[in-house]
Amino acid sequence: MSEIALTMLGTGSPRPDIERSGPAQVLTIDGTHILIDCGEGTSTQLLKAGIPLESINHLWITHLHSDHLFGYAQFLIGGQGNGRRELTIVGPKGIKKYHQRILELYEEDLNYRLSLGRSPKGLLDVNIIEIIESGEIKTDIPAYVTCAEMVHNVKTFGYRFYIEDKVVVISGDTAPTPNIVELARGANLLVLDSALTTTSVYTKGGNKEFSKVFENLKKKHCTPVQCGQIAQEAEVKTLVLTHFLPEADGEEAFAETSSVFAGEVIVPKDLQKIKVD
């Protein structure tokens, strides 16, 4: 039996938050780590979680929004400096160009580092798999994986990892869609975008601009109640909410989700490790 765990490195959003780092999580299958998204602070969160950066050879990106990629340059360059010599990245079309641009931005810096005698492996030879459409994804991680397109404003893929008889699903950012219900069908663990909590920085204080933004975000993300409805319809065992804005009320989100979902609800703190058994 494989040992499976999910570590919530960052449960935050694009808005900087002292309590919640940028979106990122690690799926660990018998010691193989798969980093999913790479928001601000991912490298230091990995260190705090006791996961050496150089032990990560697999990075999966759900979509190319800044909050899911702010930590990439640090992870790429810092992790290679720590000794990583292999990296495979899976993500939507455009991830190759993004990686290439990071290398170009830091060209002088990287030339300097390599001139010190450092190997270019794990930095200049990154293997990148771009996903074009929903379906099966062939990689060498110890899981069978399928993906489906979510509803956001850029191409976003949710991932379904089959590990023996267990299923872990990561939604990425999404508004409610039949695709996430299908992707999450019968999952042991579903991590779902719950950005639109009833209480958060966008709903407190009567700021008109924030209220307008919040209204528009309803087409791009889920409320806790919508998360619960999706999990209930998909007959998921455990639902993990994430992507919280500053001042989100976690207890309220838990209560709202639990009112429509009969399974287990987790409103995680950063670095919380969730075992799948």
Q: How far apart are the first and last CA of the chain?
A: 10
Instruction: Tell me if 33 contacts Zn ion by CB under 5 A.
Output: no
In the window 157-176, what residues touch Zn ion (CB under 5 A)? 173
In terms of Cα–Cα distance, which of 234, 257, 250 is closest to 177? 234
Q: Which is nearer to Zn ion, 57 or 67 (CB)?
A: 67
Instruction: Tell me if 40 contacts Zn ion by CB under 5 A.
Output: no
Q: Which is nearer to Zn ion, 46 or 245 (CB)?
A: 245
Q: What's the closest the beta carbon of residue 67 comes to Zn ion, in angstroms?
A: 4
Give the x/- contact pattern for Zn ion in 50-89, rule: CB under 5 A: ---------------x-x----------------------
* CA distance linking residue 232 with residue 256, whole number of Å: 13
Strand order in the sheet with 24-29: 127-131, 88-92, 56-60, 32-36, 24-29, 4-10, 272-276
Q: What's the closest the beta carbon of residue 172 comes to Zn ion, in angstroms?
A: 7
In the window 204-263, what residues touch Zn ion (CB under 5 A)? none
- Indicate the SS3 state at residue 10: strand
Q: Which is nearer to Zn ion, 80 or 226 (CB)?
A: 226
* CA distance linking residue 270 with residue 6, whole number of Å: 12
Instruction: Tell me if 149 contacts Zn ion by CB under 5 A.
Output: no
**Alpha helices (H) along 22-163:** 42-48, 72-81, 95-105, 107-115
Q: Which is nearer to Zn ion, 84 or 152 (CB)?
A: 152
Q: What's the closest the beta carbon of residue 125 comes to Zn ion, in angstroms?
A: 29
Q: Which is nearer to Zn ion, 167 or 193 (CB)?
A: 193
Q: Which residues, listed in sequence order, are joined to residue 32 by a DSSP beta bridge?
A: 29
Q: What's the closest the beta carbon of residue 221 comes to Zn ion, in angstroms?
A: 8
In terms of Cα–Cα distance, which of 241, 250, 236, 201 is closest to 221? 241
Binding site for Zn ion (CB under 5 A): 65, 67, 173
